[in-house]
Structure 1
Amino acid sequence: MAAVASPITSTAYRPHPTEKMKAALWMGTRNIQVGQVAKPTITDPSDAIVHVTHATICGSDLHIYEGELNKAMRKGLIMGHEAIGIVEEVGEKVQRVKVGDRVIILPVIACGKCDYCARQEHSLCDSTNPSKEMEATYGHRLAGIFGSSDLTGGYPGDQAEYCRVPNADLTCVQVPKDVDAKKLLGLADVTATAWHGCELADVGNGDVVGVWGSGPVGLSIQRLAKLRGARKVYAIDKDPHRLKYARDFGMIPIDASNHTDIADYLLSIQPHGLDCGIEASGFRSTNSTKHAAMRSVGLERDSGDTVSAILKATRKGGRVALIGDFFFETHDFPIGMLMEKSITVRGGQLMAQKYLPFLLDLVVNEKYDPSWMFTYEDEFENIAEDYRKFSQHQIPGSLKVCLVTEFGRSQKY
């Protein structure tokens, strides 16, 4: 399908002529700085300006932090795509979102008008990402995403005191003012991404599920899989702290560092294989010296190690979901095993606009509480150091940090 003209007039950061704000700025590999930049203004009548109260760092932000996307980055780009706040200003075409509303800012920016949005496939939106490089590489452009490089539109992120939100009626979700901030912040991306992973793998009643990765997203997938009726959930990781969370949540933890072939081990204890295998560890999760060698000479950028293990451990006719941000290519992919075992593989960015009404109801009605993922709280001004800690698994509690802005510290929720 040919791309259509964007209804959003600009992805550019149009600054306020006088007012300044603090923001987390990408300045190079492992170099995030808190700087004073101009406050954004309305650039399109469908925009809103949100005064951010709480934000956090995502595992996918670390791909940028570690330099994986340097060619698509610009110094000074505002980072981040997980935040909540209060609407301060709206454009003249914004109808649903009102000044003073408390909102979740969704990570994916969608137009709401193209064929993909009509099917609620918002992350595949035709209209909100002007990247010609992505179109040349993938054959199509995907939706715009906040703070995630020029490949996804170059939109300034929301790790800042203010954020310009395009197409605010679709990109902001109004939320109650009496719900704990960490519950809402956990909904912004992690919980929705985890639900998306369960959807892609079609996790259902009685399933045996294996989840590679027990970080915030992986643990969320595990818990939501149980909520959806999974009979047994294996949690695979190397971090002992995260494996303890999995055990405490009722999963079966497996320390991948104790096994030379994790798929063989899984099949030894689950001979039938997994009904669903879900990858939530990312393209940097590797075990083989072969990948390391190919990567060192520039022959490979993404790793097929984890995907190979998942395919081997998944039963014939099973389902596999990939959500860990693969960007490039791998030369070591077991296509024969995929085909011969009749396995269905699906992947993709979250479709937050589709899932949030349901997930918000779960949280508001106290059927699911995502606040557990925030094992540390800090002032937003310390975000540069928190990036370093998160990258090195040094965040207290080993999961996510809840960053509170000066404005957020002044609010009473």
Structure 2
Amino acid sequence: MKAARWMGTRDVEVELVPKPMITDPNDAIVQITHCTICGSDIHLYEGELNDQMEKGDILGQEAIGVVEEVGPEVKSLKKGDRVIILPVVACGKCDYCMREEYSLCDITNPSSEMEALYGHRMSGILGYSRLCGGYLGDQAEYCRVPNADLTCVKATRDIDARKILGLANVVTTAWHALELAEAQSGDVVGVWGCGPVGLSAQRLAKLRGAKKVYGMDRDPQRLKQAEDFGMIPINIKEHPDVGDYILSIQPQGLDRAIEASGFRSPTKSPHTALRTMGLQRDSSDTVGSIIKATRKGGNVALVGDLFFTSHDFPIGPLMQKALTLRGGQSGPQKYHPFLMDLVVQGKVDPSWMFTFEDEFENIADHYQKFSQHKVPGGLKVCLVTAFGRSERLQSNSDMPVDQAESGGYSSGG
């Protein structure tokens, strides 16, 4: 099969590798139809976790496909089911999973390095380094999905592939951010980052009744997207002291603030110097702005990937302002089938985030484009495998001619 393999810093290659087999009775083998590149994947692409990678590792944590084979203990899936593959690998049995805190699973990540860094191990994550369990990813033509009953979500054949691909990780992470921030009707919300997760959080905040939503970024195209969606865009290039700027136009501050940009969003020069000396790998610049801009007693949520340590963290303002700070990887299993129901009902349409579509075989080019914010349309690429293309041709043959010629897609939103 063809798979996207990590070969080193800024080096991804599509190569032929053996097709995976069932190795545990709870496994499923899924033939991938569509996949995409996650912002978190750029951590690996840019070399942030090189010491936790091995040359040839298969990348990917956002994909959908069709079940080809299931292990003898898989109960909810059968051959031919269309599924979303969730990135978080959870056991479903430990205390954390029983509380639906799936990303904190005690069982599925054997990494001693993570335990040494954090004091505990988090859950395993598909395609995301030895630090997260060493699981092979789903940017491939086939994927072995562990604990398939909990890691796969069934989807009907009549839903646009882009809608359910967006549900694999982006929408669930955005909803998780709003849950962490306790966003509710009437709130003023600020979201740092206007990428797919950030824009999703902004749109979902409106769905939850937020009266005003600010979107912060440095990319003009993404800021225009935020504005088109009814948000108030703030360009941090024009307002580098963005916390002060928000307070100048929103004196009471933000009720809820969300960090959805991660390690790639430093705004001050000392971060570069500290990274060069090996003294800092994550930046607290964004978190500092967030803490300043959030009202007394407000809530802050961190969902942009931050892995290591940071200098100059504003712990005093955090404490003195009585802020609630929460973070963590999404446990997407918790939010299905609720989010799927919103899509089916037409209340949420994640297809907007896929601003370009291409063949899976071109994924290496799209890693470079995504890392440089050069994806056509500015956001996210939907990559279709040969199997996905053949499925589309088959479904189009069953459609009226006018729909088949347009690709069979809904208009999205």
Shift, 1:284, TM fit: 2.1
- Structure 1 vs Structure 2: percent identity of aligned residues? 69
Match for residue 201 of structure 1 among 181, 186, 193 = 181
Q: Report the AA paired with residue 179 of structure 2.
A: E
Q: Which residue of 2 is the match for residue 291 of structure 1? A: 271
Q: Report the AA paired with residue 66 of structure 1.
A: E
**DSSP-derived class of the 2:189 partner:** strand
Q: Which residue of 1 is the match for residue 363 of structure 2? A: 383
Give the alignment's TM-score, normalised by structure 2: 0.95
Q: Report the AA paired with residue 181 of structure 1.
A: A
**DSSP-derived class of the 1:40 partner:** coil
Give the alignment's TM-score, normalised by structure 1: 0.95
**DSSP-derived class of the 1:258 partner:** coil
Q: How does 1:16-95 map to 2 (within 5 A)?
A: 21-95=1-75
Q: Which residue of 2 is the match for residue 158 of structure 1? A: 138
Q: Which residue of 2 is the match for residue 353 of structure 1? A: 333
**DSSP-derived class of the 1:278 partner:** strand
Shift, 1:260, TM fit: 3.0
What do the CA deviations read for 1:319-375 (whole angstroms, capped 9, x no partner)? Answer: 000000100000110000000000000000001000021000000111110000000
What do the CA deviations read for 1:290-328 (whole angstroms, capped 9, x no partner)? Answer: 111111111111000000000000000000000001000
Give the whole-Å Cα distance in 2 for the aligned partners of 1:354 and 1:178: 24
The alignment of Structure 1 onto Structure 2 pairs a total of residues equal to 393
> Aligned-residue CA RMSD in angstroms?
0.6
Give the whole-Å Cα distance in 2 for the aligned partners of 1:98 and 1:226: 38
Match for residue 342 of structure 1 among 296, 310, 322 = 322
Q: Which residue of 1 is the match for residue 224 of structure 2? A: 244
Give the whole-Å Cα distance in 2 for the aligned partners of 1:38 and 1:30: 24
Give the whole-Å Cα distance in 2 for the aligned partners of 1:228 and 1:259: 28
Q: Report the AA paired with residue 231 of structure 1.
A: K
Give the whole-Å Cα distance in 2 for the aligned partners of 1:264 and 1:289: 18
Q: Report the AA paired with residue 42 of structure 1.
A: I
Match for residue 126 of structure 1 among 88, 106, 110 = 106
Alignment partner of 1:115 is 2:95: yes
Q: Structure 1 residue runs of 4+, over 3 Å off?
A: none
Give the whole-Å Cα distance in 1 for the aligned partners of 2:341 and 2:87: 19
Shift, 1:144, TM fit: 0.4
Alignment partner of 1:367 is 2:330: no
Q: Which residue of 2 is the match for residue 142 of structure 1? A: 122
Give the whole-Å Cα distance in 2 for the aligned partners of 1:260 and 1:99: 53
Q: Report the AA paired with residue 348 of structure 2.
A: Y
Give the whole-Å Cα distance in 1 for the aligned partners of 2:273 and 2:366: 31
Q: Which residue of 1 is the match for residue 408 of structure 2? A: none
Give the whole-Å Cα distance in 2 for the aligned partners of 1:93 and 1:301: 42
Q: How does 1:199-238 map to 2 (within 5 A)?
A: 199-238=179-218
Unpaired stretches in structure 1, ≥5 consecutive residues: 1-20
Give the whole-Å Cα distance in 1 for the aligned partners of 2:81 and 2:102: 23
Match for residue 402 of structure 1 among 382, 396, 400 = 382
Unpaired stretches in structure 2, ≥5 consecutive residues: 396-413
Give the whole-Å Cα distance in 2 for the aligned partners of 1:356 and 1:160: 24
